[in-house]
Chains A and B, each alone.
Chain A
Amino acid sequence: MTRATCEVLVVGGGPAGIAAASRAAELGARTLLVDEGLALGGQIWRASHVGHRAGAARRWVGRLARSGAAVRSSTSVIDIDSARDRFRVVGDAQGDVISIDTATIVLATGARELFLPFPGWTLPNVFGVGGGQALMKSGMPVRGKRVVVAGTGPLVLAVAASFASHGARVQAMAEQAPRARVARFAARLWRTPLRAGQAMALRARIATTRYLTGTWVTRAQGSSRVESVTLTDGRSSRAIECDILCTAFGLLPNVELPRLAGCAVGAGSVLVDDRQATSVDGIYCAGEPTGIGGVELSLVEGEIAGTTAAGASASPRLLAARARLRRDAEVLTSTFAPRPELLHLANDDTIACRCEDVRLGELDRAWTFRQAKLYTRIGMGPCQGRICASALECLWGWPREGPRPPIQPARVAALLAAADENPVT
């Protein structure tokens, strides 16, 4: 058991967390950042296992290092308790338990991919879009592999380009959003200098035969691993042979930890005020958990949250940048909203809960998620419903249940050590 004390605890080491911790430490607050990943950067700034960081990622990681904030990687937060005016946060650091006493918390828990079940989605070598990218950056070899990327948003192109640059043969890039909407988005993006690169990529790709707009996955086939994927544009379907399928249906804020801490959530995102303060005194939230907005918005929100958590006021420049970036984010969200067809890909035999192997046909739409859990064990495996409950919220409108500690599966020794620290009286 390790103990730590700080004034500002930042949970999450992506852009929002890095910006928050940097600002708080620069303002003189004793700051600790904990992150579940192996290295700082979160998903968007994940460093290649052999490469070096560049651009904004390099600048911010350097700034954090100079700020004086302490960093602990490979640490999963499993519980948050409040005691008097302070918080006690328990983390599981790959077996070692850390108990952190802090005055304020900035939650920068990022986002995950939304996965909707379709026949064949449990086959090996079917990855998320960001998931495929993450595995490649962690050392998965892809040279010569036939890859199909099917998803939504600018990530599809970025990930396909990344696979191609590592020697993979990209067979198709499928964007579920309709062509007209993507074209409109590309035209608008052109006017925002920050995203000119993305716009250029989109506009260049829109005319190519391998970037298929208005096209989505309907099933994957294979025996011991994926061998082909069927794509459709709603009129005709075709099967494409592949060794790797990267597919996802958008991004989803990680709100489990904020909800555990009691923060109010609306429409799937943590509710924050102008200072990035949540409904819980002393807890701030920044980046994707407050609504999907991308790296620039995450940085700005992180700076604001870190500033206010350290007791200062954010500059008008930051507040103006946040307002502008939030407007951009709304356009992004509406352009790439999942089409209704995606809610009907699964059949009765399709697995809904991958942890417990519960098939969609075993569930009754009239149930609540709680009833479904009791009858079928859905959502009771180690992912704690992060995949299946999120999918069923989209498919059937089942509200997700409030999380309970430990928020990640933890070893009994960790739970015992944590309980010793805070005995039930």
Chain B
Amino acid sequence: MGKINVITGRGGTGKSTFTTFLARYVNAKPLLLIDLDPDGSLAKMLGVDLEKEGKWTISDALYEVIGSGKDTKDTKDVPDLLKRKIEEGRIIYRDKKFDLITLGTKLAPGCYCLPDEMIKETIRNLHKNYEMVLVDSPAGLEHLNRKVTPDIHDLFVVLDPSEKSAKHIERIKYVTKGVNISYKNFYLIGNYRFTDEVETYLLRTEEKYLGRIAKDPLVREHNLKGESLLKIPEDSPSSVSVRKILREAGYGIV
């Protein structure tokens, strides 16, 4: 049974950066990564070009099965059609270290309820084939309201140095309680802008703080140029700090 671990936080804090490093160092085989962000960039950070690999995002797949109208006109057939597309190998990108599924950007009017519902179903079906599933969330809280992952093992919240992050922690708890999402561990992580002063100021909560992701000009440079973060050297400050965070959470590291 795969452990489902979710990475969340306010926008721009570094959720996808952390997820990418997590994917690199976590000792779990097989490992499934899911990018739930319509504005998603996890694939790019992992150095994967889904288009070139001929892979569809969930939104692409929905557009294909519904939008084209050639397979179905009824949304109740969609889960089965989507399952078939997965079996045909159109959706899951397979790498040596991980498999990857992305939600993708939807162009049609309306919300992400249907794509999210589909990915929820997909996680439910697939997670038993994996030792671990890592879910990279979109910014904000709405994904929690949709209850895409009802049973979370570790919930990582990446914080930026602002009072808003402190309030964000409270809002996460409020929503998870309200919609009945369970988690075993609730972990806080400081982003690259954290300082000692910020730590003492913000961390007045009883939640477990795992440490901060070290500031690293290489990460900034790679993100600016859109290059894979997996190429960042093992001994760079960011890599070292994420391994430390993982050890703090009791994870096996490769």
Do A and B truly interact? no
Binding site for A on B (CB under 8 A): none
